[in-house]
Chain A
Amino acid sequence: MRRAVTLFSTLVLATTLLAAPGAFAPARAQNPITQDGQNPMGAKPTADSVNEEFLFKNADKITGRVSIPDRKSANLIQPQGREYRAFRESWLPWIGGLGILGMIAALAGFFLWRGRILTDDTQESGRKILRFNAFERFAHWMTATCFIILSLSGLNYIFGKRLLMPLIGPEAFGSLAQWAKYSHVYLAWPFMLGVVIMVAVWVKDNIPNRIDWAWIKAGGGFLGKGHPHAERFNAGQKGVFWMVAGFGAAMGVTGLMMLFPFTVLDINGMQVMQVIHALIGVAFIVGILAHIYIGTLGMKGAYDAMGSGEVDLAWARAHHDLWVEKQQAKTASGPQLTGRHPAPAE
């Protein structure tokens, strides 16, 4: 009997020991002290704290506090910077390269197909007419020389480290890029002045009208034979004028934003200005390449207008007949220069 009691007691004790952890498990699971990330009251202490997602709902960047006067250095996270960098390092070189090389290829193809647009030598009159006076040529060449330097130094920002640095080495490229940067920053000022002068001098001759539409429909002398009627500037030249005026203004404004960084804009605005400046700059170069082509290689006699300022009267009649008529009506002596007073360009 005693043995049976001892056996029963042992069984009860063993059962109790085995069942006890299971019986207390729910209670222990609900004990807040044993849960990670919870305080004794059962609440998550970080549940109400600010996080990155919350901060980005309030502003487009996360900023801290700094004690130095440069408040910009308080920027901690600026997601737009990653988009800007992707554009700057990935998209922009492709856009610039394809745009410029594409225009060069298109001009080469056009030259092979159309050849140089000639004026019959036998039809030249031998008399000259003043197409652009000295001040107009001065403004044009000041703007043009600055534009070429600005273009090359601007392209160096995009392609320099990719194309030049492997060729000339980092030290030479560093010096070159430094001087290119100086030229870009300082020659921007005479360029902007030149654009302002050209707009002021030529805007009255570049207002679009019906003659321009007829010129465009006739192919502008590029596609067919002969030349449609044109005043002092044809529709193509007016297009170049307004491109220079518009792009010049845009490049000037965005350039000034970068010359005086953070004066008006914050870091996001600065990056947007750089994107606009770069894209318009590439489009500007592409457009001016076509302008240079038609002003030199593409058309015989065109360079004289901006070179010496004088063109042959027959060339002027062929390309700008309505303008020549007006000039002849203005001057009783006619537009010829030889031995007489030059016809005014205006």
Chain B
Amino acid sequence: MKAFAAAVIAAIALGVLAMYALTSNQTFAYQAFATSGTRVSEPGINLVGPKWNGMPVVGEANDAAHGKAEGEASHPKRS
């Protein structure tokens, strides 16, 4: 029983150690791949939108994901 308890404690301890080791070397994609001229996504926003529930609802998902263009339509330029 002592060996089992020690094994569980050691597993958790090593797991926590691995967590700190891994997270110290990780950065978010929007941080790692952004440049001074390029913005990559934003924290907390994903492509499927905030109301995504896994169900393939056509239309609603697309609206939430990409949004709709708002405002007046632009007029063609006259040359």
Contacts and interface: CB of A to CB of B under 8 A. Distances in A.
A140 B10 CA distance: 12
A307 B4 CA distance: 8
Interface in B3-44: 3-4, 6-8, 10-11, 14-19, 22, 29, 32-35, 37-38, 40
A144 B3 CA distance: 12
Given A138-B10, A309-B3, A70 B29 contact: yes
Contact of B54 (A73, A165, A307): A165
A308 B4 CA distance: 10
B40 A68 contact: yes
B28 to A, nearest CB: 12
Contacts of A189: 14-15, 17-18
Interface residues of B, number: 26
B32 A145 contact: no
A78 interface: no
Contacts of A137: 3-4, 7
B74 interface: no
A46 to B, nearest CB: 29
A68 B35 contact: yes
A69 B33 contact: yes
A309 B1 CA distance: 10
Nearest to B16: A186
Contacts of B7: 137-142, 144-145
Interface of A, secondary structure class, is: helix
B31 to A, nearest CB: 11
A190 B14 contact: yes
Contacts of A259: 22
Given A134-B2, A141-B3, A67 B38 contact: yes
Contact of B3 (A67, A68, A134): A134
Contacts of B46: none
A154 to B, nearest CB: 15
A42 interface: no
Contacts of B79: none
A142 B15 contact: no
Interface residues of A, number: 32
B23 to A, nearest CB: 10
Given A67-B38, A189-B14, A138 B6 contact: yes
Nearest to B53: A170
Contacts of A170: 53-54
B8 A185 contact: no
Contacts of A69: 32-33, 35
Contacts of B37: 67
Contact of A182 (B2, B8, B19): B19
A67 B16 CA distance: 37
A139 B11 CA distance: 10
Contacts of B38: 67-68
A117 interface: no
Given A68-B34, A138-B3, A161-B54, A190 B19 contact: no
A191 to B, nearest CB: 8
Contact of B11 (A68, A190, A307): A190
Nearest to A259: B22
Contacts of A11: none
A122 to B, nearest CB: 29
Interface string A83-110: 0000000000000000000000000000
B54 A146 contact: no
A190 B13 CA distance: 9
B14 to A, nearest CB: 4
A99 B8 CA distance: 28
A318 interface: no
7 contacts: A141-B3, A165-B54, A185-B18, A189-B14, A190-B18, A193-B14, A307-B1
Given A137-B3, A165-B54, A187-B11, 6 more contacts: A138-B7, A138-B10, A182-B19, A186-B15, A188-B18, A189-B14
